[in-house]
Amino acid sequence: MPYYYVYITGALILLRLVGTELIRVFADNGILYIGFFYAVFGFSVIDYYLKKIRLSLFLKILFYIGFVFLQLPGLLLAAMIGLFDSYFDFRRVRARIIG
């Protein structure tokens, strides 16, 4: 995800903290929507590193089953990894795009 979504997420969190009831509902929905995409990108980063260390398919399946058992903390962890990846670019995607 583009790095400027970090600032949109920050603005939504600020609206959540100081807004009225209607603005809080809007901010909650925005955070949930963006958080889903951050979680998808977080799982993408996790899969990239699992492929990089050449983990077997069986161990990858066990790893993802562990995320299923973690449920909310696992999803939040994946979303935080995706958030930090959009800002710090762990996989060096922008460097490959630029050339």
> In this structure, what DSSP letter does residue 54 have?
T
pTM reported for the whole predicted model:
0.78
State pLDDT tens for residues 54-84. 988 899 888 888 888 888 888 889 889 888 8
Report the Cα 20 to chain-centroid distance in Å: 27
pLDDT band of 20, cuts 50, 70, 90: very high
Residue 43: HSE in the Cβ half-sphere, 13 Å Cα cutoff = 15
